[in-house]
Amino acid sequence: MNVASLIFTPKFLATIIRMTTPLIYAMLAAVIVNRAGVMNLAVESTMLTGALLGVLFSTWTKSAWLGFLLAIIGCVLLSLAIGYAAFVLKADESLNGVAFNLMMQGGTIFILYLVTGSKGMSNDLQSKVLPKWDIPIIKDIPFIGTVFSGHYLLTYIAVIMVIFVHVLIFRTKFGLRLRLVGENPQAAESVGINSQKMKMIAMCLAGGISAIGGCFMSMGYVSWFQSGMTAGRGFIGMASSTLGGNTPLGGSLASFLFGTADAIAITLSTLSIPGEFVTMIPYVVTVIGLVVSSSLSGKAGKRKGDKK
């Protein structure tokens, strides 16, 4: 078994797509709040909460989609609370985000314990799983079929969401206002935009979208909730958003970069390459990516300055 035979296969590309999907949702959530000028570190916690709520509600309603919807609503409500503390009660945004991350780390376990009596995983619950989708015609094409077909429906919805968020931010009146609030809140207020309201809406949208990412983890990737199962994916999503210049398309590329690095890391780890080296790969890629992106944007800024 050598490196080439593991990596240059359609199955490996499919692995990348699977590993990237949750990152895309976290990234989109981060893009929206960043555009509104909010420092929201709580993406990780809304994702984790979404993962738990999806499992719980799908168990109780006996329907995957109803559970999925209720999980989104639950996370929107949680985001309302986060936003309320930050914007109305004027809590420090970063500390507030950290506090909610810590709270839901324990909170999800607490709720899980109340419901199932177990603190580790929800395997006693008969929770439902969201379906997979075989794309007609494409699934029969040899290479492409293996790569693109047969993923969870939420993977395809992620693509739609990227386009949706792109249009929302750059092509609608709402998006214009959102960006204005983010770039210059005073100016926004002066033309009669309620910046607090806009930030609140951005928080709710982010909460809902990250909940989808959480549901992908617990209702697709695996079929149960495990304490701490998002394992930092929310943070990687935030990093992708920054790396991609807070645009959905750039962020998607960055997410793919992280997804690929992750996939390479775990694939190589089955070979006799030192594990410590392999686990470094995603983080080395992060650092390189951040340096490249900041030096590029630095150059672009200079060029603009020259013109003036």
Q: Which residues bind other proteins (CB under 8 A)?
A: 1, 6, 9, 11, 15, 18-19, 22, 81, 84-85, 88-89, 102-103, 106-107, 109-111, 113, 117-121, 123-124, 126, 217, 221-224, 226-229, 231, 263, 266-267, 269-272, 275-276, 279
Which CB, 94 or 270, lies closer to other proteins? 270
For other proteins, give the closer residue by CB, 61 or 269: 269
User: Least separation, in Å, of the C-beta of 162 and other proteins?
Assistant: 21
The whole-angstrom separation of Cα 16 and Cα 256 is: 7
Nearer Cβ to other proteins (244/282)? 282
Distance between start and end Cα atoms, the chain? 58
Give the span between the Cα atoms of 79 and 230, in whole angstroms: 18
- Smallest distance from the beta carbon of 190 to other proteins, in angstroms? 25
State in angstroms the smallest separation of the CB of 115 from other proteins: 13
Decide whether 57 or 152 has the Cβ nearer to other proteins: 152
Closest separation between CB of residue 85 and other proteins, Å?
Answer: 6
Alpha helices in 137-274 (DSSP H): 142-148, 153-171, 173-183, 185-190, 195-216, 233-243, 248-268
Between 275 and 298, whose beta carbon lies closer to other proteins? 275
Question: In which residue are the tokens 């007609």 written?
Answer: 136
- Contact at 8 Å (CB) between 237 and 29? yes
Give min distance, CB of 266 to other proteins, in A.
5
CA distance 266 to 76: 33
* Contact partners, residue 55, CB within 8 Å, separation at least 6: 67, 122, 125, 127, 218, 219, 224, 225
